[in-house]
Amino acid sequence: MLAIVLVLLAAATNAAALVLLRKATEAEDTPPVFSLPLLWLLVRRRPVWGAGIATIAAGFVLQIVALGNGPLSLVQLVILMELPFTLIGAWLVLGGRLQTREWSAIAAMTTGLVVVLFSLAPTGGDPFSANLLTWLIGLAVTVAVVVTLLGVGQRRGSAARTALFGVAAGAASGLIAVLAKAVAVAFEGGPISVIATWQTWVLIAAAIGGFLLLQNALQAGRLVASQPGISLANPVVALVWGIGVFHERIHTGWWLVGAGVGAALLTGGAVLLSRSPLLDPRHQGSERDR
């Protein structure tokens, strides 16, 4: 229960960060390629960017604490609530209206999440039960998938490129959570244990790369194309690692039918929410112009 509360707080904090970043970008166009120098320029030009980045960091800390108190699969499924939280935050801060479609999608995502968690009931798992070779193979496969998605996306049209970049960003976020789980468990041994754990240093590099990849995915095209991949690839990667590598236990048999129904509700709700004009900064500008 503590893990669920913590990850819901993390999802709400991440949503607040996304709303702040959207607020920061609504008054000016950002280049299609996002980079660290550009980030520094934006922070200096608009302090709200700095507030958004600080809020992202706070959400990440909450997520790591949640990972230290619950299975990877559970935490990364619940973090999906970041999407409806972002929509509600955009409604409250940026204006606009939540229509019946949005409320129905939020209800579908919430119901689907409850059904998936009840059906799978993930428990246990230990990132250090896997040996170094297993870790290296898993990392290599996941990174290869991300790189392949980016490479294929570069050669596709705008909509396909945006969608593939979104899936790549979501997969990268899932990998970051995998590494964060190891760091959270290592923290039980104290700060020295965290420093001595190689996953800590890989996590730092992955977090920076993942943030830049996420921003580029958001800049690549319409959110309706990128957001489903960003949201849904994350828990898929976490489930594969959690069950296949960390040996988390889930219900099987007929319980998987319930999990499939819940996953369908989650997916449908996420796709529907990603189509909301409240998540489009161009919509916010047009609302104020009228």
Percent over 70 (pLDDT), the chain: 82
User: For residue 42, which of 56, 53, 55, 58 has the smallest C-alpha distance?
Assistant: 53
pLDDT of residue 287: 47
Q: Exposed, middle or buried: residue 155 (CB in 10 Å: 0-12, 13-18, 19+)?
A: exposed
pLDDT of residue 290: 44
Three-state DSSP class for 103? Answer: helix
- Cα gap 274→236, rounded to integer Å: 18
Q: Tens digit of pLDDT for each residue in 4-60? A: 999 999 999 988 887 777 776 555 555 555 555 666 666 666 777 778 788 888 999
Q: Quick check: 127 and 146 in contact, CB under 8 A?
A: no
User: For residue 234, which of 266, 259, 258 has the smallest C-alpha distance?
Assistant: 266
Residue that has been written with the tokens 């979104």 in this structure: 166
User: For residue 247, which of 75, 130, 132 has the smallest C-alpha distance?
Assistant: 130
Alpha carbon 43 to chain centroid distance? 22
Alpha carbon 69 to chain centroid distance? 19
- Ramachandran assignment for 197, one of left (phi > 0), alpha (psi -120 to 50 degrees), beta (any other): beta
The reported pTM is 0.86
Q: Tens digit of pLDDT for each residue in 171-202? A: 999 999 999 999 999 998 899 999 999 999 99
